[in-house]
Structure 1
């Protein structure tokens, strides 16, 4: 068993590497031929210490990083990392049931959507930059910085005196939350070997799912029993405790990069263009069909300029950036592109149940906002169980492709079952369908990430992980918008069905862009009119689920292009800092030159 190394051999295609009959002997031959190239490697294989001069002289070598930690230390670190993800994911959904109360408190209906959107937009746009910052200054200081930003944003949100301050605070929260989500996965990648990290990624996936499901429930409890401000106050003691514990227990390589040197090395053009392009694109999608028509100059300009700026970002990363935020070499491997495509499809479908099942429970089943959040728990629990089971499977077998294929197959089946969700109360059927979808969604929280990491150079794991996180958050944001567009268009098509029994005024309220926000009206209608409205909601959601089945099936097809790779139990410690970045850049330049040399 041998591991993927940051040497010219590691840069070879997988099929070429697997032709070697004796990988250890072949590695030594490669090292003799390409000694100058190997000197530029940006990672250290802990097992190579056995061949060092100290070991030859009988001197004791330092233990491998995983072996140097006690179970208690590992447990404390993982509890802190999972708590960080829990808070970042919780703040995505905790305000959903509190929004009406917050809007009424500040007497601002205009800020209703921006309280949630500000967090999501800032979260998505900031993720790529966090990974590169951790490459320059190290994982630990940047993770602690993300905790601090999230703490500050939560404090400002909890003490907001007007709607503008709350929206700005939510944006600050989103920046910190984006850092927490991506840096937790990067730290796990640095702490554990490729074979072992699957079970820890699984815990993160389970935490994310539970937080997303519990968010509306906790938000409703805080709003009804205490105050909406506790949706943000709850973050303060947990974030503070996590920051202190990580400061003392998280032991990772942290280069003492001078601030000014680090700032000069940041890919500012790449960071600004990815943030600007993402914000404009998501804002256009967010405003389209709600605040402005899809053909309005505002929406068209935002989407067009978002695409243009994103194109400039790609050009900068490809040709101009010295230390790119998102190196294009990550996408040069078809397996990597397939893993990211699978990530997009998975995130696209995963969020659909969390976001639209509560709408189904409220509009069709007549549930309250609080209970609609509780009714999503079977989905979250099944998802969490399968996420953990997948991590254990990958650790035991070293195989990630079977869980990926199994997950997408069952996910396609599960979301397909949602097409047949009952229009009348049938809880056995609803819970069964939720469990099936949860079983399908669970495995692919971490398996595609492991597939991606196994096919990149060790020095690129942070940027690859950040790219993976960016694709996932982008897919969830786009999914909510596209799902809303399909649902709203279908409700608009039911206008003629609604206008007869309900009248023009109510039909206008329940059709088009206001359908989701007007779900409370359905409960107040007389039985005959309520049945007509519920049928319109049911049929519109049914069409939307068909669209999600198509995306789940597309993900299954894409996943077939993910390549197989042997997962090593050897732990590699990734160096960070400017010296490591420069070594990695030179190594990639040398590889590019060799790839361009004509074959004799």
Structure 2
């Protein structure tokens, strides 16, 4: 650990959007300024980049440890859904327990991100990261040894709480370790494990479940976490925050943390079960949804007026680019999580592939997503001509690609099944990190980078929850309308309840029915999923509109984050 302590008076270097009006930045609080800037900061102010220094071995080993954590977080977000039917069957789980086991991970990530953001800015990145790693490891162990569905749910909840901290701290630490000028490279590299984890998740979940045991979904995390923790403890040396525990406790925005935790929980939980466990009009959906919305509004009012160090201070929202980029991230989250959920199910339900067969069919899509997740953001850094043009281009591709997914059907050729999703995946991969750049470049003080990353991830995951809720509602409504005239008897009787249609998909392979009976059911699945793809096309169109009115902010800033890496 380095001996230099954090100086709360580190200067903030202001930025202004190219071509933007003065109103775009007039509300910016530039923060405290020291009288004499350091050499690095002076170079940044004068527009001259300082001489690049070679990264140390400790820096690279620390970065590798962070990539492992990003991989595990994204892997666990997608592995368990494939194995859930088998888990529920073996442990005699109810529909309600299966629901919470499936959605609990993402919900816990969403609701705890604001709290992690507030705590890490006061107590430091490493203690907060350690807490997330501990909970994620504990949750993985609980999941692996579970003997009933209640224990599975508890394990997933612990993994979600810990995984949210791991993911957020990984991105914030990378931002602290790098300058804005070089960050596009490291964001691109960090996208590799994130994309690979998201894509490999369903395949690994299916392989473990079919060939070993679903419990390995939890066991596999522990040795990787051990290696990552060792590297972080030994090599990750961040500038410490020098103040007493009592002082730190007073600085945490506890009121805002409680309001955000309660408000987001009550808002997203009914969204996740609407039209799945309970109808949209049921009091079980409407009452918590309205209370949650009221608490979220109260949180925003509280943040702007009460705390001295709010979780998301008003100065973060100083420009049109910030507002538009947040809206774009919301649309991105809706498209990402919804299509990732339903595209593999499309291949299983409509083309009657196994879970592994669907993963193999989507392998080209997966590879392209990883390549563009890395190449998209690195290309911006190499060309050095701003990033808005790239964001616009990929939003266009995502909009077109989402619409083309609607052409898939039960009679689609192999080339269509393999090729059409590639366009969508190239754009979704590139935008994964490109949408970070406008927000990180827009902060008036480098010390606010961690806050703005937390804000981005909260908005993106909220978009994911809303997108999944809308997709579930659309799927159930369209599937029910498409099967209303069908005579669903015998093995197809469970499909009379549209909410059981997704869980019934694995059984379609074993239904021994003539084509004239089964084909209309497969067409109903295709029609319902097309409706989801077309809805996500609309979300992508909203994202494109936000990009058209976004302005470039210079990336030529060289100051390091508030807890910079120390050799």
Q: Normalising by structure 1, report the TM-score.
A: 0.85
Equivalent-residue separation in structure 2 for 1:226 and 1:505 (angstroms): 29
Which residue matches 2:398?
411
1:440 aligns with 2:446: no
Equivalent-residue separation in structure 2 for 1:194 and 1:36 (angstroms): 19
Which residue matches 1:581?
none
Deviations 1:68-111 (A, max 9, x none): 632x4343222211110111111111111211222122212231
Equivalent-residue separation in structure 2 for 1:427 and 1:336 (angstroms): 42
Structure 1 residues 211 and 383, CA gap change in structure 2 (3 angstroms): same
Which residue matches 1:25?
none
TM superposition shift of 1:377: 2.5
Structure 1 residues 497 and 120, CA gap change in structure 2 (3 angstroms): same
Equivalent-residue separation in structure 1 for 2:281 and 2:30 (angstroms): 60
Asked whether the equivalents of residues 66 and 571 of structure 1 are also in contact (C-alpha less than 8 Å), the reply is: no
1:284 aligns with 2:270: yes
Task: Decide which of 451, 454, 459 is 2:447's aligned counterpart.
Answer: 459
Which residue matches 2:330?
344
Which residue matches 1:123?
109
Equivalent-residue separation in structure 2 for 1:37 and 1:571 (angstroms): 15
Which residue matches 1:170?
156
The structure with more radius of gyration: 1
1:316 aligns with 2:302: yes
SS of the equivalent of 1:498 reads coil
Asked whether the equivalents of residues 486 and 543 of structure 1 are also in contact (C-alpha less than 8 Å), the reply is: yes
TM superposition shift of 1:367: 0.6
Asked whether the equivalents of residues 9 and 17 of structure 1 are also in contact (C-alpha less than 8 Å), the reply is: no
Which residue matches 1:594?
none
Equivalent-residue separation in structure 2 for 1:521 and 1:217 (angstroms): 18
1:92 aligns with 2:58: no
TM superposition shift of 1:360: 0.6
Equivalent-residue separation in structure 2 for 1:38 and 1:380 (angstroms): 46
TM superposition shift of 1:313: 0.8
Deviations 1:523-575 (A, max 9, x none): 31322111111111111211221111111111000112222112115232425
Which residue matches 1:46?
40
TM superposition shift of 1:497: 3.2
Asked whether the equivalents of residues 409 and 556 of structure 1 are also in contact (C-alpha less than 8 Å), the reply is: yes
Matches within 5 A, 1:147-296: 147-296=133-282
Equivalent-residue separation in structure 2 for 1:443 and 1:94 (angstroms): 23
Which residue matches 2:93?
108
Which residue matches 1:516?
502
Unpaired runs of 5+ residues, structure 1, are: 19-33, 52-62, 577-600
Equivalent-residue separation in structure 2 for 1:66 and 1:269 (angstroms): 42
SS of the equivalent of 1:517 reads helix
Equivalent-residue separation in structure 1 for 2:250 and 2:501 (angstroms): 50
Equivalent-residue separation in structure 2 for 1:438 and 1:233 (angstroms): 30
Deviations 1:5-40 (A, max 9, x none): 98687176655799xxxxxxxxxxxxxxx9995239
Structure 1 residues 461 and 97, CA gap change in structure 2 (3 angstroms): same
Structure 1 residues 93 and 375, CA gap change in structure 2 (3 angstroms): same
TM superposition shift of 1:506: 3.4
Structure 1 residues 512 and 161, CA gap change in structure 2 (3 angstroms): closer
Which residue matches 1:485?
473
Equivalent-residue separation in structure 1 for 2:137 and 2:276 (angstroms): 32
Which residue matches 1:424?
411
Equivalent-residue separation in structure 2 for 1:287 and 1:388 (angstroms): 35
Unpaired runs of 5+ residues, structure 2, are: 1-8, 23-28
Equivalent-residue separation in structure 1 for 2:403 and 2:160 (angstroms): 33
Equivalent-residue separation in structure 2 for 1:338 and 1:233 (angstroms): 41
Deviations 1:283-334 (A, max 9, x none): 1012221222221111111111110111111111111122111123222311
Which residue matches 1:356?
342
TM superposition shift of 1:135: 1.3
Equivalent-residue separation in structure 2 for 1:38 and 1:97 (angstroms): 53
Structure 1 residues 98 and 521, CA gap change in structure 2 (3 angstroms): closer
Asked whether the equivalents of residues 331 and 543 of structure 2 are also in contact (C-alpha less than 8 Å), the reply is: yes
Deviations 1:386-441 (A, max 9, x none): 12112221221232112211110100111111010132252211221111111111
Equivalent-residue separation in structure 1 for 2:313 and 2:255 (angstroms): 13
Equivalent-residue separation in structure 2 for 1:211 and 1:160 (angstroms): 23
Equivalent-residue separation in structure 2 for 1:451 and 1:129 (angstroms): 23
Matches within 5 A, 1:74-89: 74-89=59-74
Equivalent-residue separation in structure 2 for 1:259 and 1:529 (angstroms): 68
Stretch of structure 1 that moved more, 317-326 or 516-525: 516-525
Asked whether the equivalents of residues 136 and 262 of structure 1 are also in contact (C-alpha less than 8 Å), the reply is: yes
TM superposition shift of 1:168: 1.7
Which residue matches 1:10?
14
Deviations 1:210-261 (A, max 9, x none): 2112111111111222221111011111111101101111122121433332
TM superposition shift of 1:380: 2.0
Question: How many equivalent residue pairs?
Answer: 542
Structure 1 residues 259 and 540, CA gap change in structure 2 (3 angstroms): same
Stretch of structure 1 that moved more, 5-14 or 340-349: 5-14
TM superposition shift of 1:185: 1.1
Equivalent-residue separation in structure 1 for 2:212 and 2:51 (angstroms): 45
Asked whether the equivalents of residues 98 and 219 of structure 1 are also in contact (C-alpha less than 8 Å), the reply is: yes
